[in-house]
Every structure is written in structure tokens, then in C-alpha cells.
Amino acid sequence: MARLFGTDGVRGLANRDITAELALDLSVAAAHVLAEVGEFQGHRPVAVVGRDPRASGEFLSAATVAGLASAGVDVRDAGVLPTPAIAFLVAEQEADLGAMLSASHNPMPDNGIKFFARGGHKLADELEDRIEKRLRADWERPVGTGVGRITPFVDGADRYVAHLLGVLPHRLEGLHVVIDAANGAAAVVAPAAFEAAGARVTVIGADPNGENINEDCGSTHIGGLQQAVVAAGADVGIALDGDADRCLAVDADGRLVDGDQIMAILAVALKDAGRLRHDTLVATVMSNLGMIRALDEHGITVLQTAVGDRYVLEGMNEGGYSLGGEQSGHVVMLDHGTTGDGTLTGLMLAARMAATGRSLAELAAIMSHFPQVLVNVPDVDKARLESSTVVSDAVTAAENELGDTGRVLLRKSGTEPVVRVMVEAADEQQATEVAHRLVGVVQAELAL
């Protein structure tokens, strides 16, 4: 049986895969498991719950709150707020757990639930497995004053914005910023934070109606922001996703600035300030070789992990590093938060522009992208990828051909029956040729 929890909580089609019953049962099980491991010892437990604005979040949040309260947990309902805001509030309020109802950048019909432990940290795999095993188990229900109480967290948004402003190293006066809030959870707080930081702000994608989250807007549909930045003559555009844990950017000419470029800019900024611990950035194996080469010239090491923000976080925590992230724009700054924060990332990027007086295009020129060819190979037995000597020999031959001017990565998709073939090279034609040669080997050797 497949594991219920994925790399970022439990996610699926709302009211089919993610039902009110499941949200309630997961919340009860989470409360029981965290009680068993000593999270609630000696006091009455408190939880912070939030959601993004998709319509299904209304009933799923209600079910989650009900489940926690029925298990004896007092709930502070923060309503619509970004995922990183809920993680921050769990830590700031010294709450015992948090819950966020969101499917992030997924389309509106999807939804999901993720839990945070004390301090605003994502749950370890072992705790998620225990929660899954406890689903719908018999339990003794509290009665009378033992049941949890539910109160609105009325100043949660204000506290989060104050936190963002409090860690900002430079104000943003003189900058014109366009924010695309993806009709999502940061539609109010992101513009408020940038305006309070001194920027002139133009906002698009900030009219959520429960149905339009991520729809032709935000970090997964960057075209609207590119047009808006150029039309407004703005200095920078910031694109968030539905729960605002990601950030991509657009320069004044409408060119995309991706997560690798953002991480490179922030890594150098932190090193200049003496805040980049161990002079190391943690990124995934999908980050562009151009970023790695550029940061090496600045004396910064790039530690690469498996794909997924949870693996980036594991690498950061294990090594005591302060900055990490993904090419997708999921950037983690552990000195200021426990998870990716798109609004914080955008603020830090704009602050670097303001502090240096340089345009985003100038800052992004710190690195040149190596041509990167990515091909998904369907209808193959991905389970045999590591054991095939023919495939591994082909990869070795390709790596020898590219030498130190490129690299090869073959990996199994975590969610689809495909093998992903990625090749980088200094020359795009060579990258394409090598990639399609490897695709042919994979198709022939791993055919179903």
C-alpha cells in the first residue's frame, strides 16, 4: 500500500482523495502521536491552523480544526495565510503543532494538509508514519472542559508582516515592485510587507475568489508578470505561488530570474554580510552547473541533495547551513524561518537591489546558465534504473565525453512512471545530442 504522506504532506483531489473525514482523522491522529512523543507534556496543547484561499480549504480547515479540538487541543484559527506564516506563528506562539491546508502550486481542484511540530518544523518521516498508522484507531475522547477551544487568530497576519520587516537588512525606497500573488494565500500580506518596507507596489493576481488560485498567474504562469513589469516600467517583478512558499522574479526588461539566480544573488549577499554559514549553499541536483561555477568563483561551496525541499532542509540542518533552496524558487533562509518563504525571498532580493544600487539584471548576471536539456521518458520500468549496467555504462560514457564542461543526471520520478534524463553542457547542441542518446538507451533497456 502506498504511503499516504508524500514529500510535502498529504495532497490530492479535494473531496475525493482529500476529504473532510480524512482531514479530521489525520488531525486526531497527529494530536495523539505528538502527545505520545512528549510534545504536550505538562500543559494544555495549542495548535495554529491556516489555509490558502481555495474553496475546498473552507470545509477542510473546518474539519481539521474540529479534529484537533475533539482531541483536546486548543486551536488558534489564522484563516488565509501563507504556509511560511503558519510555520512562523507556530514558533512565535510556542504552539505545540500547526496545520496548513494547501496544495501549493497545484491547480484549484487539489488540496492537501501538512503538519508542523513545535518550532514550526515539518514532521519527520517517522512521525508521519506513526500518524498514518494511528488513523481511525480507537481512542478515549475528552469531555467537558477537556475538549479543545477554538479562537480566531486575529493578528496573525500583522505578526507575520512585522517579522518580515524585522529581518529585512535594507529598506526598499526608490524601488517599484510588481507582485503577482497567484490569487493565493499572500494576496494581502505580500503587498503589505513590500509597501511597509518602502517600495512602490503594483499588484496583480491578488483577487482570490476560491476558484482562481494559480490560474494563469503566479510562479507557474510567469507571462502575465513579465508583461506587467514592462508595461509599468517597474524595477522588479515578484511571482509567488498559491501558498507563497516559492518566489521567482522578473527583471525590468521582463526576463525571468529563476531560483538558481536568486540563490546565487542571496548567497553572495549573505557572504558579504558574514551571514552565510560555512560559506555554503545547499541546493538540489537539478540546480544549474552555471550557478555552481559562479559561486565557486566567490568562494562559496554548493552542497547538492536529492530533489525536494525536505532533502534541502535535511542537508541544511545536518550541516548547520543558513541558505538553501531549489531551482523552482523554493528558498529557505534558516536564520529567519523554518521553511521556504516566497515573500521573504522577494523582500531579500529587492533589499539587495536597494543596498547595492544595481538592477536585478546586473545582479542576475553573476551566473550564466549552462544549456540544460531535460527529457521525461515514459512507459519504462523505472525500478530497474539503478541496476541496469547498460544504462550506467551509457551514463559513464556521456560523462567522459562532457568532461568538466557538463554533467548528466538520470533519476526516477517520485510521482510518475517516468525516468527523467537531464544533460547540461557548455554547448546546447551537444547537450541535446547526449540527452537524446541516453533517452534511446533508457527506452531500449527499461522498456515495459
Query: What is residue 415's predicted lDDT score, i.e. its pLDDT?
Result: 62
Paired sense of beta strands 110-117 and 10-13, if any:
antiparallel
- Residue 379 C-alpha cell reads as 512507459
CA separation for the pair 318, 321 (Å, rounded):
8
Map residue 250 onto helix, strand or coil. strand
Q: Is 245 annotated as a binding residue?
A: yes
Residue type for position 113: I
pTM for the model stands at: 0.93
pLDDT at 2 exceeding the cut of 90: no
Q: Is 243 annotated as a binding residue?
A: yes
Map residue 130 onto helix, strand or coil. helix
Q: What is the mean pLDDT of residues 404-408?
A: 90
Q: Answer yes or no: same fold for 10-154 and 372-445.
A: no
pLDDT at 338 exceeding the cut of 70: yes
Q: Which is catalytic among the residues 27, 56, 61, 104? A: 104
Q: Is 110 annotated as a binding residue?
A: no
Q: What is the mean pLDDT of residues 140-169?
A: 97
Residues in the chain: 448
CA separation for the pair 28, 148 (Å, rounded):
12
CA separation for the pair 247, 239 (Å, rounded):
5
For the chain, the structural domain boundaries read: 10-154, 159-364, 372-445
Q: What is the pLDDT of residues 169-218, one digit of tens each?
A: 999 999 999 999 999 999 999 999 999 999 999 999 999 999 999 999 99
CA separation for the pair 53, 60 (Å, rounded):
11
Q: Is 241 annotated as a binding residue?
A: yes
Question: Torsions phi, psi of 403, nearest 5?
Answer: 60, -140
Q: Of 64, 57, 41, give the one whose Cα is nearest residue 115.
A: 64
Q: What does DSSP assign to residue 14?
A: B
**Architecture of the domain defined by 159-364:** 3-Layer(aba) Sandwich (3.40)
Q: What is the pLDDT of residues 79-104, one digit of tens each?
A: 999 999 999 999 999 999 999 999 99
| 368 annotated active-site | no
Q: What is the pLDDT of residues 341-381, one digit of tens each?
A: 999 999 999 999 999 999 999 999 999 999 999 999 999 99
Q: What is the average pLDDT value for the chain, to the nearest integer?
A: 95
- Which CATH superfamily, name and number, covers 372-445? Alpha-D-phosphohexomutase, C-terminal domain (3.30.310.50)
CA separation for the pair 320, 313 (Å, rounded):
10
Residue 408's DSSP bridge partners are 423
Strand runs labelled E in 119-183: 121-122, 150-152, 176-180
Cell 555552481 identifies what position? Answer: 292
CA separation for the pair 159, 293 (Å, rounded):
39
Q: What is the mean pLDDT of residues 229-240?
A: 98
- Is 316 in contact with 282 (CB distance < 8 Å)? yes
**Architecture of the domain defined by 10-154:** 3-Layer(aba) Sandwich (3.40)
Q: What does DSSP assign to residue 254?
A: S
Cell 475568489 identifies what position? Answer: 209
